[in-house]
Amino acid sequence: MANKHGNPIFVNGILQIFQDARTQTLNDLIEQNHATYGLLYNSVMQNHTQHILLASYQLGSSTNDLKHLYTAECNDLVPWGDRPSGRIAVEDDLAAHFGDLDYERDFVAFFEQQPAQHDGQWQTVLAYHLWNSSAPLMTSLVGGFGHPLLLLADAIELGSGTLAMDALALAAVDHSGLSALVAVREEEVVSEDEDKSADAISLAHFIESVRTDFTFDGVVQHIGIQEVRAVLADKDAREAVLAHLNRLQHHHLDTADARDALLGQFVDLALDLIAATSVPGQPAAFDFYLTHVLSFCNCVRILLPALTQLNDNDKDETSLVLFRMLCLLTILPYITQQRPVITHSLLDDEHAPVMRTWEEIRQSVVSPAGDERVTDPHFVKMMQLLSSSLTYWPALEDKCLRVANKALLEFHGWRGFGKPGEAALNTASST
């Protein structure tokens, strides 16, 4: 497949490059999951089967390890059963049911039929429904706390048309008001004539400005991502979120080097949100929602080159929307988790555990019998991303190694749900 300029579009993912039995098992299990289970269960819980399978595969899991993980992950999932399907027959039926969980299987059925109508070119279908259909889904990828974005990144990395269509279906199910926040409006974009030198982005200053923004004081009564509703329902808080978001402009992304540098800053911040937000001197607190920021960084790493190829008619707009998604998916959990203080010294030498090598860390994640962490999709994904830092983010490899060692030694479960006895983040006063 080629874009309108004749340039080749991404076609080769893991499934195309590797033809061994382990890769075939990975694909078989993903296809089985697609055929058997829904995208969500218990109404709001996301099916993370492909997420943990891909991460564990990349860490070196064997065929038997992958099968064990699949069995463990499916314990909580809900089979499709007799849930209704086929009520969406044509494209014009889609938008009327965006955000309606009752139409989940209908969305899946509709999108999985589309590649066959385009000679199997799922990339063509993806491009059309992200940008050119009567109800484009690009900005809807941010819904459901970014899980359609995560699913699409997995699809592109794997080279899986099945997962790419599932990502469109999940974007339709998870469509929400967040899509309006990441959409780019001309009136919110700084004029090219304005002085850009004074508006450079420093994410360290950026997150500190969110932490000390008194507008958010008292808005969040309980921790947890469900508090996004309270934040966005408060007029002043919503406007403050948008104001922080709009500090990210086209000119911050006008070159490949600028985009890479900004993504590197987001990764650096994500590492701090994982491992430097605990109360000094108290047990380490690994926040479930803040840890997702590293995964969202990985989404941008994968999707930025892929989607700008696919939409080469407007690469700048695609880049900005992706970074606005990443920015919003950083700001919102930071606010709902009560804007913790980042203490960089928590990752200094005096706090560093005995350092294991990357190979020792990988083996610890995929091998230990009886360690429940190896069946936790979010823990496994976090460790896989950290252990891939030499390839993904080489300038941050040393910091990633410190965070990985800290997690391996001190992680005993997620916090961030407001349950009694959770390890505390350092949520000092915002002022």
Domain ranges (residues) in the chain: 14-176, 204-431
Q: Any residues with CB less than 8 A from the CB of 414 and at least 6 apart, and which?
A: 286, 287, 288, 291, 378
Which 3 state secondary structure label does DSSP give 92? helix
Residue ranges of the chain with per-residue pLDDT less than 50: 5-8, 192, 195, 197-198, 430-431
For residue 18, the tally of other CB atoms under 10 A from its CB is 13
Q: Any residues with CB less than 8 A from the CB of 396 and at least 6 apart, and which?
A: 264, 267, 268, 271, 389
Token couple for 202: 């420093």
> What's the rounded Cα separation, in Å, for the pair 93 and 111?
12
The pLDDT value given to residue 39: 96
> What's the rounded Cα separation, in Å, for the pair 312 and 226?
36
Provide, for the chain, the percentages of residues in helix, strand and coil under a 3-state DSSP scheme, each rounded to the nearest 5.
65, 5, 35
> What's the rounded Cα separation, in Å, for the pair 333 and 287?
10
What sign does the CA torsion over 192, 196, 202, 205 have? negative
> What's the rounded Cα separation, in Å, for the pair 168 and 230?
27
> What's the rounded Cα separation, in Å, for the pair 409 and 407?
5
DSSP state of 40: E
Q: Which helix (H) or strand (E) holds 57?
A: helix 49-59
For residue 92, the tally of other CB atoms under 10 A from its CB is 11
Phi, psi angles (nearest 5°) of residue 183: -65, 145
For residue 161, the tally of other CB atoms under 10 A from its CB is 20
Q: Which helix (H) or strand (E) holds 211?
A: helix 203-211
In the structure, how many helices (H) and strands (E) does the chain have? Answer: 19, 2
The pLDDT value given to residue 6: 44
What sign does the CA torsion over 373, 378, 380, 384 have? negative
Q: What is the dihedral of CA 388, 395, 289, 300, to 10 degrees?
A: -80
DSSP state of 41: E
